[in-house]
Every structure is written in structure tokens, then in C-alpha cells.
Structure 1
């Protein structure tokens, strides 16, 4: 299970939301083995005056917060980050300097999904990859 929040300046983020969502999901499927139908993305387009960032970033600066079940290896998480940097850069021309990501992992029992604690769900994919 994963949920992703994406933040950026609305004038830059809104036109690319669908493509960025597809890129993110493709990376999640490739690196984590998530099923194609498990796509949980939320976009937070922000007014310029509400989104502060360092002077060495551009208006394309984008933040991804990835929440997911714990259990993936360090190598798998690094692969995910590398894929995201590479594919966002190559497909949307957003420089890696303008992308920041954080992975938040929590135990399955900290999630409530479809009326059950996450550790009681029957998943059709592996988490320990």
C-alpha cells in the first residue's frame, strides 16, 4: 500500500498532473511491484506566495511525500527514488535539483483500509521486496 502527496506551484503543477501521476505510478509498479490498479495520488497545487523554496530551485520545484507500508529493502527504496528522478527529468524536463522526495514507512497495523487494520488485509502483491 502507498499513498503519495505531490506539492508544487499551481501554474507549473496543474498542466502536468496526469502525466506526473502516470510517471510516479509506473515507477511504483516497477520498483515496488505494486499492481497497476493501486494508484493513490493527491495533488496540492499551491499559490506562489504559499510555497517557499530555496533560491537554487526554480518554479518547477516539486515535492513528493510517499507513505507506504514498511518492509521494503534499502536497495528497493533507492531504486524507486532513482527511477523517479530519472523518469520525471526525462519525460517532464524537471531537473533533479527541483525534485525532493521523502518516503514515510509505517507498520501495516498503523493503516486502516477497507474497514480493516492494514495487517489484516489480504494483499495481491508483496511488500517485502
Structure 2
């Protein structure tokens, strides 16, 4: 399971949401073997005055937070980060300086999905990649 939150300045984020979602999901599929039909993205377009960030960033500054079941290898997570940085930069045009990615992992039993704790679900994909 994976849930994504994408934050950015709304004037920059809104026009690219569809493309960015496709690129992010392609990275999840390729690095973590996510099923193509498992896409849970939430966008948080923010007014510029509500989104503070450090020097050296532009209005294209984008934060991607990924919450997922624990179990992926360090190599798989690094592969995901590498793919996200490369593809978003190349296909969406956000500079590497303006991208920040954080992965949060939690045990399956800490999730409630489709009426069950996550560790009682039958998944149609593998988590240990």
C-alpha cells in the first residue's frame, strides 16, 4: 500500500498535477513493483504566502511524501528516490534543487484498509521487493 502527498505553490503545481501524478506512479511501479491500478495521490496546492521554504529554492519547490507498508529493501527505496528525481526533472521540468522526497514506512497492522487492519489484507502485489 502507498499513499502520496504532493505539496507545492498552487500556481506552479496545479498545471502539472496530471503529468506529475503519471510520472510519480511510473516510478512506484518500476521501483517497487506497485500494481498499475494502485494509485493514491493527494495534491496540496498552497498559496505562496502559506508555503515557506529555504533559500536556493524557487516557486517550483515540490515536496513528495510517501507513506507505505514497511518491507521494501533499502535498494528498492533508493531506486524509487533516484527514479523520482530523474523522471520528474526530465519529464516535468522541476529542478533537482526544487524536489524533496520523504518516505515514511509503517507496519501493516498500523493501517486500516477496506474494513481490515493492513496485516489481515490479502494483497495482489508483493511488498518485500
SS in 1 for 2:122: coil
Distance 1:38 1:55 in 2: 36
TM-score (normalised: structure 1): 0.99
Displacement of 1:92 after TM fit?
1.0
* Count of aligned positions: 129
SS in 2 for 1:3: strand
Q: What value does the CA root-mean-square deviation take over the aligned residues?
A: 0.4
SS in 2 for 1:60: coil
Distance 2:125 2:89 in 1: 28
Q: C-alpha offsets along residues 66-119 of structure 1, whole Å, 9 cap, x if unaligned?
A: 000000000000000000000000001111110001100000000000000000
Distance 2:4 2:89 in 1: 18
* 1:122 match: 122
Q: 4+ runs of 1 displaced by more than 3 Å? A: none
Distance 2:10 2:39 in 1: 21
Q: What are the ranges of 5 or more consecutive residues in structure 1 without an aligned counterpart?
A: none
